[in-house]
Structure 1
Amino acid sequence: MHFRQDFCLRVKPAKPCYCSLSAMSRVSLTFLWEIPARTVPVFSVFIPFFGCPRRCVFCSQHDQTGQQAVPLDEILARAAAGLRSRRTQGRPPAELAFYGGTFTALAPRDLDACLDMADSLRRDGCITRFRCSTRPDCLDAALLARLRRHGCRTVELGIQSFSDTALQAAERHYSGRQAAGACRLVRDAGLALGVQLLPGMPGHEPEDFLADVRRALALGADMLRFYPCLVLAGTELARRWQQGLYTPWPLPLTLSLLARGWLDARRAGVPVIRMGLAPEPGMEAALLAGPADRNLGGRVLGRALWLHVCACLLRARGEEAARSEVRAAALLDALLADGEVPGGLPRARALYLPRACQGFFRGPGDELGRAWAALGITRRALVWTAGQAACLHLDA
């Protein structure tokens, strides 16, 4: 059982402000880099494998959650005690979150126990609502309506991908069409929709991930999670990897694609609330291969910010929006791969950024320093500010 506050950093779409060239000697582009307020803490309860119809090829939930097999009654009792203790300490009500397993496929007795606990905790002011995660092929309208009556306000779907090829290769036993239908069911039930994606899963191509993000956003996702596929000991995926039948995505490719997916979500105003699995000791010991990084989220955010600034510069120079984003990604990949500065890079006069960006702006070991300098953003050209507004100044 864990207590964790999920959070995200996101860019809030804002109409760029262009100053007249005739009026000024430079052009200013203004956008917002917003940090959403953490209004309600999330109290996470992990129920590994409970309700799962089968074990997925990539899944090792005991290692991923740091929990070994424990009876459900004991898990719920500990969670209830923890939430009531928070209440007696005067702490604000939390949102209860059931993660792991397949919540909507729990045995009737187990589902009743979870809903009864949620009802009791809501009546006593310990929680405001609850959320759950489940598979897209294990829900229907009647069940979603029941969850809503008991205080559920968010359902996160472990979609993994909308690609039929990837879903078949990973033996998920549902189609992309079924996954999309499940998203619509959640939205039609009046519940917030979370979509969990697994970039790099078997049969998954880089373009599939970006298509998955766009599909999730088009279906009305309220939040996204990106969990790059890892090879963990004891899984079917580990057997395939050991036999040369599966190759995980390299970390540089994963970082690049997640940054682009994060920016797609940003444009839609949808937060990415998690990137990468939490670094539980058991998971780290079981990790055999794959793009694991303790600072995955921060490294993705640093790249996303660079891509956004570079694309702004390219658009100010007259490039079409979609082309500017693709070109910015190619430029950053080239800079990080060999350190050579490509010709024709746009350059800025100065960049004003919120202080909240300081933790990831340059990346660990100053890995993005050369890339920022290539855009003209040296330490002298960078100004840290209060608030959430960012301003990019260009030479006219």
Structure 2
Amino acid sequence: MRFTHPEPPPASARIWPVFLPFAGCPHRCAFCAQDKQTGRDHADLSAIAESLETDLQAALDRARGPYELAFYGGTFTALPAPWPERFLNLAADFRSRGLISRVRCSTRPDCVDPDDLKRLAALGLDMVELGIQSFDDEALRASGRGYSGATALAACETVRASGLALGVQLLPGLPGDRPGLFQADVCAAADLKPETARLYPCLVVRGTPLADLWGRGGYQPWKTDRAVRELAEALPVLWTKGVRVIRLGLAPEPTLDENILAGPHHPALGQSARALALFEVVKGKVRELGRRPSFLEVPRRYSGEFYGHARELAPAYFELGLTRDSIRFAEAERFLLE
């Protein structure tokens, strides 16, 4: 039996991230820790623009690229004038010289306006990632997001109607969480068929309002094992709709790591979730086979995630009848199960 991994193929462009912590944000949400994530407590937009231009020119001089320029953190569409225009004009200059192939930004669902998006698209913006966090009114209210689930859904449609590609960011385990909420959010996001999704389980970070709530016993974050299970369940829902999941959990950052008080933060969180999702695919194929398998050939590009962190899934594969001796990694495009 031959089969493929259900995950859509990855994008080929390399990302050039530009971080704008808190810039344009109307207020600070309960969980927000952009200062810890980026190592900066504010965004000096003039300094960022000057540094970006210098760095892009240096990359062009070294014949590097092309890159997809990505403005992260803050609320790009709510930056004060003339900063959205200045950043996009800078990107357009380097796009005309072959260094930049695409431009994306992240923003809030309540900060997208059809006319503004069309204007930004005309200046060279290609994609908007919306920090949805959840479509659930109670979770949004408890997290201090300041908008409703209906606003989040409408924002996704506004982005698509503006001719821009859509990305969705979800933050499971928020205050107000309850069983089934995250999977409902995932289904809602998948039905929108965004180009990409990021899934960031909620963390308690020192200095945030959420840390105060947690300290008073008013909030309980997910445990790591639950986060792995929930993410693994979410992945195939998104994959089957053609959504590329481009991030699971926050990227390691020293200033962030040292300030995390609670929550599912583990360097192998994404690896474990992806491995478990793949194991469920293989398990389903073994069920279709109708007998204990004797051999599994795995495309080598999945070798790093196949067993999960520290070979945590080796016993589970053994229970399926697949041992170290009967699993082989090969330069192949498809899995082979016999």
User: Do they superpose with TM above 0.5?
Assistant: yes
TM-superposed CA distance for 1:124, in Å, is 3.5
What aligned pairs does 1:21-100 form with structure 2 within 5 A after superposition? Answer: 28-32=1-5, 36=9, 38-100=11-73
- The answer for the alignment partner of 1:256 in structure 2 is 229
Q: Is residue 378 from structure 1 mapped to residue 327 from structure 2 by the alignment?
A: no
TM-superposed CA distance for 1:236, in Å, is 0.4
Letter in 2 for 1:31: T
For structure 2, list consecutive stretches of 5 or more residues without a partner in the other structure: none
TM-superposed CA distance for 1:206, in Å, is 4.0
- The answer for the alignment partner of 1:117 in structure 2 is 90
- The answer for the alignment partner of 1:301 in structure 2 is 274
% same residue:
43
Q: Is residue 221 from structure 1 mapped to residue 191 from structure 2 by the alignment?
A: no
- The answer for the alignment partner of 1:389 in structure 2 is 334
Letter in 2 for 1:373: F
TM-superposed CA distance for 1:266, in Å, is 1.7
- The answer for the alignment partner of 1:192 in structure 2 is 165
Letter in 2 for 1:148: A
Indicate the SS of the match to 2:157. Answer: helix
Q: Is residue 364 from structure 1 mapped to residue 309 from structure 2 by the alignment?
A: yes
Selected match of 1:134 from 85, 89, 107: 107
Letter in 1 for 2:99: C
- The answer for the alignment partner of 2:242 in structure 1 is 269
TM normalised by structure 2 equals: 0.95
Q: Is residue 282 from structure 1 mapped to residue 255 from structure 2 by the alignment?
A: yes
Which shifted more, 136-145 or 260-269?
A: 260-269
Indicate the SS of the match to 2:190. Answer: helix
Letter in 2 for 1:127: I
- The answer for the alignment partner of 1:7 in structure 2 is none
Letter in 1 for 2:140: L
Q: Is residue 204 from structure 1 mapped to residue 204 from structure 2 by the alignment?
A: no
- The answer for the alignment partner of 1:312 in structure 2 is 285
Q: 1:381 to 1:35 in 2, by over 3 A?
A: farther
> Runs of at least 4 residues of structure 1 off by over 4 A?
none
1:16-61 Cα deviation digits (max 9, x unpaired)? xxxxxxxxxxxx2522466835522111100000000000100010
Find the structure with the greater CA-based Rg: 1
Indicate the SS of the match to 2:210. Answer: helix
TM normalised by structure 1 equals: 0.82
Indicate the SS of the match to 1:137. Answer: helix
**Rounded Cα–Cα distance in structure 2 between residues aligned with 1:135 and 1:304:** 29
TM-superposed CA distance for 1:371, in Å, is 0.8
Give the number of equivalent residue pairs.
338
1:310-349 Cα deviation digits (max 9, x unpaired)? 12333555xxxxxxxxxxxxxxxxxxxxxxxxxxxx7433
Q: Is residue 351 from structure 1 mapped to residue 324 from structure 2 by the alignment?
A: no
**Rounded Cα–Cα distance in structure 2 between residues aligned with 1:211 and 1:265:** 12
TM-superposed CA distance for 1:378, in Å, is 0.7
Q: 1:260 to 1:286 in 2, by over 3 A?
A: same
For structure 1, list consecutive stretches of 5 or more residues without a partner in the other structure: 1-27, 318-345
Q: 1:363 to 1:56 in 2, by over 3 A?
A: same
Query: Contact (CA 8 Å) 2:126, 2:164: kept in 1 or not?
Result: yes
**Rounded Cα–Cα distance in structure 2 between residues aligned with 1:72 and 1:99:** 13
**Rounded Cα–Cα distance in structure 2 between residues aligned with 1:218 and 1:348:** 35
- The answer for the alignment partner of 2:123 in structure 1 is 150
Indicate the SS of the match to 2:159. Answer: helix
Letter in 2 for 1:130: V
Query: Contact (CA 8 Å) 2:8, 2:244: kept in 1 or not?
Result: no
